[in-house]
Chain A
Amino acid sequence: MISFWKVLSIVLILYALIGGLLMPVPDLPILEQSIRNLYYHVPMWFSMILLLMASAWQAIRVLNGKGRLADAASSTFATVGMLYGMIGIVTGMLWAKNTWGVYWVSDPKLNSAAIGMLMYAAYFVFRGSMDEEEKRARFSAVYNLFSFPVFVVLIFVIPRLTDSLHPGNGGNPGFNQYDLDSRLRMVFYPAVIGWVLFGFWLADIGLRMKKLEIKNEE
């Protein structure tokens, strides 16, 4: 049987996809109907950061001597996290083009996100460059544990210290102006929960495949 939380993720995303298009939204200047992207673009980042957190947690387990399985879990979570991050960047660019007029501006939030993604890209290159498994697990766990806090600082702290076009920054914590609206909240929260669960489902499948591979090798 399929676990309850997996079915729940489908139900919540389905609700968010449909509700996100049909439910009323506040009439905001410039954004207008594109505020609906809040239901699709933002959950990607929420999910990504939780997946990367899970990846870092598994990296700690690697360093505690939990071995191959923890290493497999750590890299799988990072992979799905990056998939979400990539979708987040691309959807953000499309939204930016239609809100700010360009796909990319040299904005602290955007540049930080790009740097963060590159840090994790380096994580995968780093992993790929090592053949010895024990070493790869430990070294990439250490690198992972450096990357994660830096990533958090990059996308949540630095953009708040300065001015940013992106909502929720420039000394303006949260995305209050949108979030306070109960109409948006009714779709936004289920969307976030749904996409987070869906991401963990993808990682679950990837990890179970890796476990089978490990079993087959032994």
Chain B
Amino acid sequence: MKHLFLQKVSTATQADLASNGKFFVVVGVIALVFLGISGFLIYIDKRLKKLEDKA
């Protein structure tokens, strides 16, 4: 019974997600989080380069 119930709840389809524009906000946030982390990685990479040039 429990599983039947779970299956019913979990059938959100692509159309359901897109029907309310707020889902795209989440996608945007995920993208920004990743961009932030990558930006920091680039920053580290550049600072490391400077250290290497000095050494």
Q: Contact residues of A with B, CB < 8 Å?
A: 2, 6, 10, 13-14, 17-18, 21-22, 24-25, 27, 32-33, 98, 101, 201-202, 205, 208-209, 211-212, 215-216
Contact = CB atoms under 8 A, between A and B. Distances in A.
Contact of A208 (B3, B27, B48): B48
25 contacts: A10-B35, A10-B38, A13-B38, A14-B31, A14-B34, A17-B30, A18-B27, A18-B30, A18-B31, A21-B27, A21-B30, A22-B18, A22-B27, A25-B14, A32-B11, A33-B12, A33-B13, A33-B14, A98-B10, A101-B3, A202-B41, A205-B45, A208-B52, A212-B55, A216-B55
B51 interface: yes
Interface of B: 3, 10-14, 18, 24, 26-27, 30-31, 34-35, 38, 41-42, 44-46, 48, 51-52, 55
Given A17-B34, A21-B27, A22-B27, A212 B52 contact: yes
Given A32-B11, A101-B3, A212-B55, A6 B34 contact: no
Contacts of B55: 212, 215-216
Nearest to B12: A33
A22 B31 CA distance: 12
Contact of B41 (A17, A32, A205): A205
B31 A201 contact: no
Given A22-B27, A25-B14, A101-B3, A14 B35 contact: yes
Contacts of A2: 42, 45-46
Contacts of B51: 212
B48 to A, nearest CB: 5
B30 to A, nearest CB: 6
Contacts of B18: 22
Nearest to B46: A2
Contact of B44 (A13, A24, A205): A205
A15 B22 CA distance: 19
